[in-house]
Chains A and B, each alone.
Chain A
């Protein structure tokens, strides 16, 4: 009985309507959190004692890097659930994640590169963290390329799900790359066991940005997934009713 809500999520019409209702509940808090985080990060937080004002790139770099990894993990989980239990909505969600994840991986790479130039003296280094993040971008691009290369949606779902699941092995590599190998990249300062190594005046805006970006992603993913579900179910009666309502 308690799992009925979960099974209902697999129903395309139920998901389509629920996602439509939920989107503003993610989008508006995301906007407020990001505005607050930007003010805190760019105005309130003190300059870093080593990196000066340049450290403020963290308020866009860290959320983008977090999204790049989190979205891939979500995509792999959706793909696995869709593959194992043949839930079409999960494949739609996985497909909706890829473009968003790829764009934020690119942001993480470019902003990291712009941060690296004044701090490390180079835009790029074949460092474990940077290289594994670049591999993540290629995984996203491979996933999108594979999907678009196969016309039959069900076959595209199955093939791309395998790629997403196999590629998930890169996620722990990205996270632990700075501790497993010698790396130019700094060690984790927020996502680590024990106490974060940042003072609250710097940490709070960063946490606001991280949460804001996460909620933003959920809102965007829901909008994209609604379109994907409509496209997949275009022959169904409920889709005709939904299109007339919209």
Chain B
């Protein structure tokens, strides 16, 4: 508990770490989604080409 208080600076320190963690995680999710969406788009195009040769 004492460690979490960070000498009275907890209200500045922990929001900084939380924001950084949030941005790190969101960047991972966004990058993976972007790649997945690109692959899905290619597959859709391929299926459309196969059904309308």
Contact of B42 among A64, A106, A110, A243 (CB under 8 A): A243
> Residues of B contacting A114 with CB < 8 Å?
12-13, 15-16
The answer to whether A234 and B45 touch across the interface, beta carbons within 8 angstroms, is: yes
* Cβ of A125 under 8 Å from chain B: no
B1 cross-chain contacts in A, Cβ below 8 A: none
Instruction: Give the B interface residue count (CB, 8 A).
Output: 31
Query: CB within 8 A of A243: which of B7, B13, B27, B43?
Result: B43
Q: What is the distance, in angstroms, from B31's C-beta to the closest C-beta of chain A?
A: 4
- In the bound assembly, the distance between CA atoms of A64 and B41 in angstroms comes to 33
Say what secondary structure dominates the interface of chain A. helix
Question: In angstroms, how far is the closest chain B Cβ from the Cβ of A121?
Answer: 12
Contact with A along B6-50 (1 / 0, CB 8 A): 111100110111011001101110111011111101110110000
Whether B38 pairs with A56 at a CB distance below 8 angstroms is: no
Complex interface: chain B residues within 8 A of A61 (CB): 16
Binary interface profile of A, 12-48, with partner B (CB < 8 Å = 1, else 0)?
Answer: 0000000000000000000000000000000100010
A60 CB contact (under 8 Å) in B20, B30, B46? B20
Q: B23, A103: Cβ atoms under 8 Å?
A: yes
Chain A positions within 8 Å of B, measured between CB atoms, are 43, 47, 52-54, 56-57, 60-61, 64, 99-100, 103-104, 106-107, 110-111, 114-115, 117-118, 216, 220, 223-224, 226-228, 230-231, 234, 239-240, 242-244, 246
